[in-house]
Structure formats: structure tokens, C-alpha cells
Amino acid sequence: MKFPDLTSFGHDPWWLVLAKALGIFVFLVLTVLVAILAERKILGWMQYRPGPNRVGPWGLLQSLADGIKLALKEGLIPAGVEKPVYLLAPIVSVVPAILAFAVIPMGGIVSVFGHETPLQLTDLPVAVLYVLAVTSIGVYGIVLAGWASGSTYPLLGGLRSSAQVISYEIAMALSFAAVFLYSGTMSTSEIIAKQDGLWYIFLLLPSFLIYVTSMVGETNRAPFDLPEAEGELVGGFHTEYSSLGFAIFMLAEYVNMTTVSALATTLFLGGWQAPWPLSLWDGANTGWWPLVWFIAKVWGFLFMFMWLRATLPRLRYDQFMNLGWKLLIPTSLAWIMTVAVVRTLRTRGYETWAGLLVIASAAAGFVLVVYLWRTLRRKQIRTDEVPANTGSFPIPPIPVKGVG
């Protein structure tokens, strides 16, 4: 099995580069169409209802019908909007999410019409930092949409989104740092090569859990969908959008989900490498088979997004901020120090410390999961249970049945 490295890129003919770029775009669009239908079906099964079942056989054409409906709807532009920014904001949201996929490895080296090429558009010595930077730009689309709409609720949604990115991108970047320290590289293809034999989810479990939590907050998905909370913000940052503008925001959300899922697969689950016991087969990581393993892992994360939406209620905003600033970021800093110490000992010849890192990773991951579980399930304190003069946040009194 041959792993691509930085020397494997930059030699493709122009038509092959164009074909790869087009293939990534088609893959993302098809993934979005399938994910929208799959989410509605999965939510239906979890909530004991049928879900889409009218358009096409078993409702399989529902996503296509929704796309055609949104494209043909009249695009309404409210009075008082900043029109150029209002029209540009959806594009700013979706383009960076697509660009980030340029450095995601989807397979090993394959032969395309006689040309040996990696199943990856390109790679960089700082590829993961490129993904972090590009995906950060996407939040500008949400902020600009909220500001340009000229309405209070979209503005509040845009401000919430900017606060989420500031909070959770710090934790996400710190989880990346642990991977950089242990692997010694920021190239996505080389990180996958370093995981040959043992995936980083076992060595760096706390980083994986922190990244998974952060990526849900980064993509504004339930239970962290505060920027579009319909309960208090009508629809949040895209309240004033309809037709194609609204469709592009939905496209950006699902493409972002796919991108962060692919990055999690690359950094922690061995990328396109076959899982055990399939890895025992000699041809599992050769040819086009790695593309199948990569897509299966990405869809595992997409299913997790849908499961969370069906299971957990939306957090209060103060709970959401406390989770990021008081738990994820301090835990990330402490874990990075641990990984740095183990990495230093390994470079000095103490290889047995890698096994101790696995044990520490499992213990820290278990503690983190328990704390997250207790945080998400913590009951709210009733007003009549709060002692006087405690300085607690005021909660409206709960109405009593039978009192008019």
C-alpha cells in the first residue's frame, strides 16, 4: 500500500485537475441531496412517523422536488435591505465550504486513463490550517446576511453565529494542535499515512470528542442551532430570505456538515483506510476501494448530526457559552500539554509512552463524556427553589394549574 505525500501533487494534466474539481463539486451536491432526504426519513423513524413518502417511489425524489420548488419560487427582497450585501451573503457562506474540500484525501493513488494520481485535488504543508481558515470565512456570510436584512431578529442571529465561531473555533483549533504535535505534520495526506496501524481516535480521544462537539457548534446544528432558533428568533439570520437565497443557505449548512465530517475522518479515523477487520484483506486499501471506506465514515458522522437533532433539545445560550469557554477550551489546553510531553519522550526514545497515552486518552475521554452528559441532562432550577438574594439569573414564575 502506497500513501500519497506532498511530492505526489502538482504533476496532473489540466484536464485531470478540472475533472477532480468537478468531481468534488458533484460529490458534495449529491451528498446534500441525499442527506436532506435521509435526515427527514431518519427523523421520521425516530419520531414514529413516515417522513417523505409521496414524491417518487418511497419518497426518493423529495429532495429534487424541494430544490425545483425553491428555484421556481419568487425571490422577495424586503424593503430597507443592503441589496448588494444581502445578495452576496449566501454565496459567501457556501463557497468556502466547497473550497475546503480541495485538500481532503478521499483515497490513495489510482489510475485515471493511464495517469497515476491521488484521489485528492491538492495538498499543502499547512493543509489543515487552510481548512480552518477557509471554513472560518463562511461565518461572514451569516453575519452579513443578518446585518444586511435590516431586521432585528436576523441581526441577533448573525451576532450569535459570530459569538459561536469565536468560542468554538478556539476549541477546534486546539484539538487540531494535538494532532499536529503527535503526527509532526499538518499535511492531510501525511496525517493519514501516520495513522497506518493505529488511528488517532485511540491515541487522542479527548481531542476527538472536543472536535466533534466543536464541529456541531461550528455548523450551527442542533442542539447548538442558536443563530436560527425559531423559538425566539423566528428563523434567525435567514428570516428575510426566500427562494434561491434560502436554498443556498441550506446548501451551505449541509456542505459544511460534510466538510467537517470529512476532516474528522481524516484527522482521527485513518481517513480513507479500511477499518478492521476489512483492513486484513490485502486489497482493501488499493484502487478505488478507499473511496468507499471514506464515504462510509463521512456518512457515519452525518448520521450523528441527524441523531443529535432528533434527540437533544436546544441549549440555552448561557449554557452553550459555558460549555465552550469553561469546559472545552481548558480541557484542550491541559490535553495539549499532555500530548506535548508524550511526544517529547517518544522523540527521546521512550516508545512505551505511546501505550500510556492510549490509557490516558481513554480515561480523559470517559471523564469528558460523563461531564458532557451530565451537563446536557442537568435539570433547570425552578424559581421557587432558588434561595433569596443568591444573585441567580431571574427565571419567570412557573404558572400553577387551576389559577386563573
Give the pLDDT confidence score for residue 352 in this predicted structure.
Answer: 66
- Written as nine digits, the cell of 186 is 499538518
From CA 95, how far away is CA 92, in angstroms rounded? Answer: 6
Give the pLDDT confidence score for residue 376 in this predicted structure.
Answer: 62
Backbone angles phi, psi at 205, to 5 degrees: -60, -45
pTM: 0.86
Each residue's pLDDT expressed in tens, for the chain with a length of 404 residues? 678 888 888 888 999 999 999 999 999 999 999 999 999 999 999 988 888 888 888 888 998 898 888 888 888 888 888 889 999 999 999 999 899 999 999 998 898 888 889 999 999 999 998 998 898 888 888 888 988 988 888 888 888 888 888 888 889 999 999 999 888 899 999 999 999 888 999 888 889 999 999 999 888 888 888 877 777 777 778 888 888 888 998 899 899 999 999 999 999 999 999 988 888 888 888 889 999 999 999 999 999 999 998 888 888 888 888 888 888 898 888 888 888 888 887 777 766 666 677 777 777 777 777 776 776 666 444 444 445 555 555 666 666 655 54
List the end-to-end C-alpha distance of the chain, in Å, as a whole number. Answer: 75
From CA 61, how far away is CA 52, in angstroms rounded? Answer: 9
> Beta 115-118 vs 109-112: how paired, if at all?
antiparallel
Q: Say whether 394 sits in a helix, a strand or coil.
A: coil
Distances (CA, A) of 276 to 63, 104, 173, 196, 291: 34, 22, 29, 12, 16
Give the pLDDT confidence score for residue 212 in this predicted structure.
Answer: 93
Give the pLDDT confidence score for residue 375 in this predicted structure.
Answer: 66
The secondary element (H helix, E strand) that includes residue 139 is helix 127-148
Under 8 Å between Cβ of 228 and 238 = yes
- Written as nine digits, the cell of 252 is 451551505
